[in-house]
Amino acid sequence: MKKKTVRDVDPKGKRVFVRVDFNVPLQDGKIVDDSRIKAALPTLNDLLDRGASLIIASHLGRPKGKVKPELSLAPVARRLEELIGRSVKMLSDCIGPDVEKAAGGLKPGDVVMLENVRFHAEEEKGDEALAKQLAGLADLYVNDAFGAAHRAHASTAVIAQFLPSAAGLLVEKEVQVLTQLLEDPERPFAAALGGVKAKIGVLENLMAQVDTLIIGGGQAYTFLKAKGLEIGQSVFDEGSFELAKGILSKTEGGRPQLLLPVDVVVTTPEGVEFEPTVKRVEGAPIEVAASDAIPADMMGVDIGPETRKLFAEAIGNARCVVWNGPMGIAEIPEFTEGTRAVARAVADSDAYSVIGGGDVVAAVEQLGFAEKFSHVCTGGGASLEFLEGKELPGIAALPDR
């Protein structure tokens, strides 16, 4: 990595402002998954071991510039305290006289956590005044929030203008892994993309890199329609339709090999409720249909059994696999079999495997396969933009070595 990292700085006796991504799922005020907190521990422990005091900042949810008690980082501070084995003082705001006083009194080894930075609307606007206030709390800025690195927010990018800055160990690792995928992957290299919408830039960039392109999930139906097939009531992304036709044309010669579903699991549109939470309506029909024979009154909700075998075989032949997006409606158990089959195929393979994207990571963790992957990206949107070839603002703002 060309950017300066914590390895290149001396934090001894310094107050270090560490931007992390502790945007963890909460249920009834309790943390459902603490993997993002654990992912930041190497950086936090390294700085503490070398004599720093820490001012930890993160966002949580989308409060849209308003104070929402249910999106307080207090539960996160308690969990972090347990994980690092030392006191973590939770502050009531991220700026202001009380915060400045607490930061000014820090001694080596002390840790404080700021309240949700998105309680201030200026955060997402990339406001310089807010960035300066945050920078005034510390002597050094470390960005270890890869999951927010694609955002040019006050605490993820702008603050780096006002403090000596460096990347954390997690950001360094994520960049190294994704750079390796784009520049020198082991071959054969397979990419499996699911989810609802086709990621236009990612598809175009990966087309030049991969040997096999596997497309499932909701975006597959846009490709099937581009082939002239009937997709019934299945999700259709009109904005990606021309892209899909272009990719079909470019892959006609088999370079890269393009794999689309040959069969799908279908149900009626009334068989799935999406609000307030995604769930299956009891008694709704579930059938398997060939991808060229989807009934006009039904919609695809998962890849079918023959497609699972097809995708698994391609993954089994690969030496490197990157996967983003579930193969079906992963929130509904009956429609997770495609995602499970792909996860199992990757787990059983010897390929170097990278998984990214919140929905698919959550599904794979729930299915018990996460530990089988070589690398689990902590940032879905950030990893996609990186694979698209875009420069991430939170990383671009850091100085080179």
**What is the side-by-side strand order in the sheet with 287-290?**
287-290, 263-267, 299-303
CB-CB contact of 40 with 48 (8 Å): no
- With 80 as the cut, is the pLDDT of residue 333 above it? yes
CATH of the structural domain 6-173, one choice from 3.40.50.1260, 3.40.50.300, 3.40.190.10, 1.10.150.20: 3.40.50.1260
- Of the listed ranges 120-124, 194-198, 328-332, 386-390, the one predicted with least confidence: 194-198
Amino acid at 298: M
What pLDDT, on the 0 to 100 scale, is given for residue 198?
A: 74
Share of residues in the chain with pLDDT > 70 (%) = 100
- With 70 as the cut, is the pLDDT of residue 334 above it? yes
Amino acid at 215: I
- Of the listed ranges 8-17, 78-87, 96-105, 358-367, the one predicted with least confidence: 358-367
What pLDDT, on the 0 to 100 scale, is given for residue 365?
A: 81
Average pLDDT, the chain: 94
Identified catalytic residue from 197, 245, 319, 390 = 197
- The alpha carbons of the chain give a radius of gyration, in whole angstroms, of 23
Mean pLDDT, range 2-14, rounded to an integer: 97
Closest CA to 146 of 42, 39, 52, 7: 39
Tokens read off for 389:
């070839």
- Is 109 an annotated catalytic residue? no
CB-CB contact of 305 with 327 (8 Å): no
HSE-up (13 A, CA, CB side) for residue 157: 19
- Is 29 an annotated catalytic residue? no
- Is 401 an annotated catalytic residue? no
- With 90 as the cut, is the pLDDT of residue 381 above it? no
First to last CA, the chain: 9
pLDDT-derived band at 358, boundaries 50, 70, 90: low
Identified catalytic residue from 61, 344, 358, 390 = 358
- Is 358 an annotated catalytic residue? yes
Paired strand residues for 54: 16, 111
Identified catalytic residue from 3, 14, 19, 36 = 36
CB-CB contact of 144 with 170 (8 Å): yes
Identified catalytic residue from 136, 201, 246, 381 = 381
HSE-up (13 A, CA, CB side) for residue 140: 22
Mean pLDDT, range 205-221, rounded to an integer: 93
- Of the listed ranges 44-53, 149-158, 194-203, 277-286, the one predicted with least confidence: 194-203
Mean pLDDT, range 214-243, rounded to an integer: 95
Amino acid at 103: A
CATH topology of domain 185-387: Rossmann fold (3.40.50)
Instruction: Give yes or no on whether 6-173 and 185-387 have one common fold.
Output: yes
pLDDT-derived band at 272, boundaries 50, 70, 90: very high
pLDDT tens, position by position, 19-68: 999 999 888 889 988 989 999 999 999 999 999 999 999 999 999 999 99
Q: Where are the domains of the chain?
A: 6-173, 185-387
Mean pLDDT, range 203-218, rounded to an integer: 92
What is the reported pTM? 0.87
CB-CB contact of 308 with 270 (8 Å): no
